[in-house]
Structure 1
Amino acid sequence: MSARPRIVVPDTPGDQDRAAVLNALIAHNEKAAGPSGFQQICVLVEDPETGAAIGGLWGRITYDWLFVELLALPDSTRHAGLGTEVLTRAETIARDRGCVGVWLDTYAFQAPGFYEKRGYEVFGTLADHPRGSQRLFYKKPL
């Protein structure tokens, strides 16, 4: 009989540590539900003078849904329609790749109204995250 695996807590976890956990999860999920169809999505907003990326959207498609992990624009570009364009572009990519919906999370102090105006609905909340506020989970069928 082999020795029981040890539990360790690294002081500074790295990419290799994350990959070990992720690979175990992928193996389990693919055994239970088949391949996830994982695809990374990125829609960038560039500074017109320098061409440098100044914000945008970062997400991933798994099991027929796009998860928007990050969506951010500099304050100076807000309320000019860029956020809507970026999100719409990501939704189009997701639709073109066969997704049935988009989901994301945001804090109550960030942009819940932005998502609600674009057809997203709350499907969950996490109270006191951070304390005195909420984390909101949104979805939108495509």
Structure 2
Amino acid sequence: MNITISPATEEELRSGELGRKLRHYNYGFVGEYPEQKYIRLNAKDENGRLLGGLRGFVFLYWLNIEVLFVEEDTRGTGLGSRLLAKAERQAIALGATNAKLDTFEWQARGFYLKQGYEEYARIDDYAPGFYLALMKKSLQAP
């Protein structure tokens, strides 16, 4: 069999064919589920200055938080908590029952613990000398 491996073209990326193939394969195991839905939040002050934001998506009923950032001079004001809570509410509306994220030890592990997340795994020396914490939270009422 003569197989060539090459970079995907822009058109191939736009078509989403590869993702559809994987989704249809997965359906055979877990049943049909909604396509990935994005959550994109920005927090700006009255002058339009970007103070923080959150980027994530819901896939297989999980909110996957990719980025949550708050400017240093705005930390401690509750903005991070507000962004996270809003994203969790949107995720629940999209069918999410759980949330997950990862954070380096120098980032926001303590913040996420206060928000009800638990560390379920750790990768030591992910960045030289630092661990990466993998965290999760149930979005269902106890």
TM-score, length basis structure 1: 0.82
**CA distance 1:15–1:110, change in 2 (3 Å):** farther
What is the CA distance between 1:95 and its match in structure 2?
Answer: 1.5
What is residue 64 of structure 2 aligned with on the other side? 67
The alignment's C-alpha RMSD in Å is 2.3
Identical amino acids, percent of aligned pairs: 30
Which residue number in structure 1 is paired with residue 50 of structure 2?
53
Paired positions, count: 134
Distance 1:132 1:23, change over 3 A: farther
The reply to whether residue 101 of structure 1 matches residue 95 of structure 2 is: no
Tell me, yes or no, if the aligned pair for 1:39 and 1:61 is still in contact at 8 Å. Answer: yes
Preserved CA contact (<8 Å) 2:41 2:55: yes
What displacement does 1:133 show?
0.6
Unpaired runs of at least 5, structure 2: none
Contact kept, 8 Å, 2:61 with 2:98, in 1: the verdict is yes
The answer on 1:31 being equivalent to 2:25 is: yes
Q: Extract structure 1 runs of 4+ deviating beyond 3 A.
A: none
Q: Which runs of 5+ in 1 are unaligned?
A: none
Query: Which of 31, 39, 42 is matched with 1:41 structurally?
Result: 39
Residue 127, structure 1, aligned to residue 127, structure 2: no
**Cα gap change, 1:6 to 1:105, in 2 (>3 Å):** same
Q: 1:35 to 1:48 in 2, by over 3 A?
A: same
